[in-house]
Structure 1
Amino acid sequence: MTVDGDEEEPVGGNRVIARRYELTSPIGRGSMGEVWSGYDQRLDRRIAVKLLPAAKLAESDDPQTLTKRFVREAQLTAKVEHPGVPAVHDVGTEGDELFLVMQRISGTGLADIIAEHAPLSVSWAVSVAAQIAAVLTSAHEASLIHRDLKPSNVMIADSGTVKVLDFGIAAVLEGGHTKLTRAGDSMGTPSYMAPEQAMNNTATPAGDLYSLGCVLHELLSGERVFDAPGAPGIVHKHMSVPPTPLRECGVTVPAELERLVLDLLAKNPQERPEDAREVYRRLLPYLPAPEDSASVPDNGDPTTPYRHPHAPRTSRRRPESTGAPEEVPLADPRKAEERIRSEQQRANELVDEGRFTQAAELLRSLLLDRSLRRQLTPDRRTKIRSNLATFHFLGGDYRAALEEYTTLLAEFDDDSSVPITSVLECRFMAATCRTELGEDQRAARELRSLLNDYLRLLPSELERILEVRVQLATLLSNTGETNAARELLRQVLAAATTEESALHVEQARRMLARLDELGR
């Protein structure tokens, strides 16, 4: 376990723990404390931080056991190496508190999906269940049981990968560790709890399979297996009442899939499928088949990993909303101005510290907040987006930077008042992003066009013209157009007349010498 020193002073109004993890906003509460969204200042990446506050410990009648369970959550989760389990980055103490640093998942909770869209199609429901079964296979092989599998502990990432969360009450199957559930405790959620778990707190892999059966039934039918006014009534039904087959509930499903759900919900653990691997095998016939695709969007579709296995993603972020702005009330003008100024200032400070990811997200949050639409005039939005693109570029996220530069150029097309210098600069940055991304041919086409426009419209911009020539010559030499590259480099040497041109002159001479050396 990592033990750190005293708490660092807050930066920009946010709390920093362990001298590197900045907490930005609460996400929610789990069975083991608070969960916060945050940033790792050292690695400039998004994180989620689970805190077990001192007050939470004080409320417990057994703080020592609660502390051990929290630490065990980190150890157990880290032990399961599977794409469907959030990665654990760190665990430690901060004063009287414990913290757990995890991968932050961008996606949607399965409980929210059920509430809005259930019943789901067979392909969606089976794709979710199969991915959960794959996670359980890895967990059970590592001698771990989840014990509280339910929709609120499952997320579907934007990529379509299903993530199983909160191993906080997991039990250890084999020796070597003390089981951290005290006698008399019944860990789990009544609506998804296996009969033997409810009766005597027995934790086995078969109990997780029962919970999976409850989830799959709910995905396909839109209803929980059993419902009752209180927890005792729900537990009684799980222990004594046979589940209603899906087709008797009016759900159109294949007979064998219905049989699998009933087998998972068997009262006797011995009558359930042998293991999670068998569940996955029985779900295989209902999974979508692979499709031909060069790329797929990140849209939170759980069938994507099966339809497009290992296909590259077309986007790593969610699009900006295009809904009617009237749907969101306007923010208080004074508070809105204060927020815009303070977050822009904070973003600049973060860039000075080399924390480009967090700086970019601050600016993007301003652009996405429609309550600020009165303050964010078109000109102001353009300036913020330009800074956002620059921050992405400086941070090396050229794909995100290109998206913003492309958006800016589209906005410039609709605004004839934008200075031509701004338009050409934006085009140059977009072409540079394509160069960094390896899109050499398209970047070369854009730089050729850009060079012509600079010579025609802004011939006095000598330094930029030289820079475009050098960059274009580099691309052409890489693609075998060495004669054209040499001509551009000679033009650089002929046109460079100021001290500021020395760098471009040196670059051109080195490139010409290199071409001569290679005989190209």
Structure 2
Amino acid sequence: MAQHRVIAGRYELTSPIGRGAMGEVWAAYDTRLDRPIAVKLLPATKIADTENPETIRQRFVRESRLTARVEHVGVPAVHDAGSDGDDLFLVMQLIDGIDLADLVAERGALAEGWAAAIGAQIAGVLAAAHDASLVHRDLKPSNVMVDSHGTVKVLDFGIAAALGANVTRLTATHETLGTPAYMAPEQAMSGTATPRSDLYSLGCVLHEMLCGEQVFTAKLPLALLHKHLDEPPAPLRQCGVSVSEEVEELVLDLLAKDPESRPENAHEVYRRLIPFLPVPEHTSSSVEGDPTGPYRAPLAPRASTRRQEPDLVSPPATSVSEDRIRADQERAHELVDDGRYTQAAELLRTLLADSAASAQLSFERGVKIRKNLAGFSFLGGDYRAALREYRVLLADADRGEVSPTEILTFKEMIASCRAELGEHTTAIADLRVLVDEHAQLLPEQVERSCELRLQLAMLLIHTDSADEARELLDDVVRVADEARLDEPAARARQLLRRLDALAQ
């Protein structure tokens, strides 16, 4: 009998069940808990092909933790993550079902009720993920499974996100490492994705379910990307699909070239699909894998966390020792060293919310702790919490001796948080002001000035403002070359090459 590979001394791989550009998926067995599982492997050879293997490893661990934070029935449970030799692995719930690509291949175009039920469940998953500051980046039919009960599972959050911008970059041969058939225009242009990029991909998936064919097709990846950038999608009813006007309009809204013209968030998509879902009944569907089944007990997404959060309620004032304050700070840094950013941020948040502890902190020390809290939240992917803390730091800057450099840093991080949250219009406005302020206050910091301009250019590309982005990038190349700053000059040239390739 062949010897099966055992991962981390515990997970026995039994048979391969999938393979993609970013790794392999195996049916496996947890020998400790006596249960079947799925193991996704990111082999060392795949990691070695990236520009910065160590960064990929760190991102993989971070994004696996973020994925585990998305507690939703439509996301396979994450049981474990780590490394085995030079390979990275993710242990997940094993799903008994069929992926959406195979479902459409077998059945052809799906009925409107089925497509709406699958689309609504995907929207529910995206709502939960986006509220946790996690963007999928590679949503497509092969990453969506429908189990035997009709419940939709969205796969591959962690690994797609771990590779970050490298997933979608164009290579020198004009090949893409992402999935061009489902890629948002701004993602193809800039290599970055936001929640509304996922919504574009959902529009592609909905169109394919209802039509039986992809929105756009082409022989070469670059030609396909050009169609997503420039060609308007054909309305479903013009393709001969029997579909309601409202669903057709939703699909077209999701496929808008401008991210700001798409639905505001996944919650809105779910709400617009509600009229096409079955009403709750007392009987279940007799068809195995019927995606309308779960709506006999509707799977609505949780309420959005975008609402105004209540102020933290401080516990009753008690005596807090200096030793305890120092110990909490040291413990937070130990947690960060282990990559446990969420736990570190929560520790500092609790410390600042303690009125007795806060009363003993000088203004400068309180600022230092809050800066760490904001930074740890950002590193942990909780961009909304980070945004809140950086705004507090900026508002409190006038109360003490905060340097102009620090104030600019707070403003830069606020813009970065907004960009990560998909609030591009506001982030662009913030960065435009920041670029001017930096030039006036800190003209000698050329490298930082180049970095700000690069950030602004990336967002402009993302919002289809290529001409303005090109002017900024040309300026970065000129200034960086004069200052002999190789790294920003190389990044600017890389973005210019991408613009040139996509403009052909």
TM-score range, shorter chain: 0.5 to 0.7
1:96 counterpart = 2:86? yes
Relative distance call for 1:187 and 1:143 in structure 2 (3 A) is farther
Aligned to 1:302: 291
User: What amino acid is the match of 1:206?
Assistant: R
SS at match of 1:244: coil
- Contact map agreement 1:65 1:180 (CA 8 A) in 2: no
Note the C-alpha offset of 1:179: 6.0
Distance 2:293 2:263 in 1: 26
- Contact map agreement 1:30 1:166 (CA 8 A) in 2: no
- Contact map agreement 1:153 1:166 (CA 8 A) in 2: yes
Sequence identity (%): 64
User: What amino acid is the match of 1:304?
Assistant: G
Question: 5 Å matches for 1:94-173?
Answer: 94-168=84-158, 170-171=160-161
Instruction: State which of 68, 79, 83 in structure 1 corresponds to 2:69.
Output: 79
Relative distance call for 1:183 and 1:135 in structure 2 (3 A) is closer
SS at match of 1:14: coil
Question: 5 Å matches for 1:436-455?
Answer: none
Distance 2:83 2:159 in 1: 20
User: What amino acid is the match of 2:291?
Assistant: P
Relative distance call for 1:65 and 1:122 in structure 2 (3 A) is same
SS at match of 2:279: coil
User: What amino acid is the match of 2:262?
Assistant: R
Aligned to 2:403: none
Relative distance call for 1:118 and 1:171 in structure 2 (3 A) is same
User: What amino acid is the match of 1:305?
Assistant: P
Could you tell which deviates more after superposition, 61-70 or 193-202? Answer: 61-70
- Contact map agreement 1:146 1:169 (CA 8 A) in 2: no
Distance 2:49 2:167 in 1: 16
Distance 2:81 2:287 in 1: 30
- Contact map agreement 1:144 1:170 (CA 8 A) in 2: no
Note the C-alpha offset of 1:116: 1.2
User: What amino acid is the match of 2:258?
Assistant: N
1:269 counterpart = 2:233? no
Aligned to 2:246: 256
Distance 1:235 1:128 in 2: 26
1:283 counterpart = 2:273? yes
Any idea what the Cα deviations from partners look like across 1:12-36, whole Å, max 9, x if unmatched? 7222222221111111223432211
Any idea what the Cα deviations from partners look like across 1:476-499, whole Å, max 9, x if unmatched? xxxxxxxxxxxxxxxxxxxxxxxx
Any idea what the Cα deviations from partners look like across 1:185-241, whole Å, max 9, x if unmatched? 666311111111111123111111111001001100111111111111111111111
Question: 5 Å matches for 1:331-370?
Answer: none
Aligned to 2:230: 240
Aligned to 1:478: none
Relative distance call for 1:296 and 1:225 in structure 2 (3 A) is closer
| Paired positions, count | 294
Note the C-alpha offset of 1:56: 3.1
Distance 1:229 1:91 in 2: 37
User: What amino acid is the match of 2:118?
Assistant: V
TM-score (norm 1): 0.53
Question: 5 Å matches for 1:353-502?
Answer: none
1:224 counterpart = 2:180? no
User: What amino acid is the match of 2:144?
Assistant: V
Structure 1 residue ranges (4+ consecutive) displaced by more than 4 angstroms after TM superposition: 169-172, 178-187, 295-298
Could you tell which deviates more after superposition, 90-99 or 272-281? Answer: 90-99
Instruction: State which of 179, 182, 186 in structure 2 corresponds to 1:189.
Output: 179
- Contact map agreement 1:36 1:49 (CA 8 A) in 2: yes
5+ residue gaps, structure 2: 171-175, 300-504
Distance 2:139 2:131 in 1: 17
Distance 1:184 1:124 in 2: 34
Aligned to 1:206: 196
SS at match of 1:219: helix
SS at match of 1:86: coil
TM-score (norm 2): 0.55
SS at match of 2:157: coil
SS at match of 1:145: coil
Distance 2:169 2:8 in 1: 36
Structure with more relative contact order (C-alpha pairs < 8 Å, separation 6 or more)? 2
Structure ID, larger Rg:
1
Note the C-alpha offset of 1:171: 4.9
Relative distance call for 1:24 and 1:134 in structure 2 (3 A) is same
Relative distance call for 1:113 and 1:179 in structure 2 (3 A) is closer
SS at match of 2:74: coil
Note the C-alpha offset of 1:297: 5.7
Distance 1:214 1:201 in 2: 18
Any idea what the Cα deviations from partners look like across 1:376-430, whole Å, max 9, x if unmatched? xxxxxxxxxxxxxxxxxxxxxxxxxxxxxxxxxxxxxxxxxxxxxxxxxxxxxxx
User: What amino acid is the match of 1:301?
Assistant: D
Distance 1:134 1:88 in 2: 18
Aligned to 1:373: none
User: What amino acid is the match of 2:292?
Assistant: T
- Contact map agreement 2:127 2:267 (CA 8 A) in 1: yes
Question: 5 Å matches for 1:313-324?
Answer: none
User: What amino acid is the match of 1:114?
Assistant: V
Distance 2:66 2:161 in 1: 9
Distance 1:45 1:179 in 2: 32
Could you tell which deviates more after superposition, 209-218 or 19-28? Answer: 19-28
Distance 2:169 2:74 in 1: 31
Note the C-alpha offset of 1:63: 2.1
User: What amino acid is the match of 1:282?
Assistant: R
Instruction: State which of 14, 23, 30 in structure 2 corresponds to 1:40.
Output: 30
Relative distance call for 1:14 and 1:202 in structure 2 (3 A) is closer
- Provide the aligned C-alpha RMSD in A: 2.3
Any idea what the Cα deviations from partners look like across 1:151-186, whole Å, max 9, x if unmatched? 0110001111100001145559xxxxx966499566
Note the C-alpha offset of 1:118: 1.9
Aligned to 2:331: none
SS at match of 1:256: helix
Relative distance call for 1:144 and 1:308 in structure 2 (3 A) is closer
Distance 1:275 1:71 in 2: 27
Distance 1:31 1:73 in 2: 18
Aligned to 1:497: none
Distance 1:233 1:296 in 2: 43
Distance 1:267 1:49 in 2: 36
Note the C-alpha offset of 1:65: 3.1
- Contact map agreement 1:218 1:224 (CA 8 A) in 2: yes
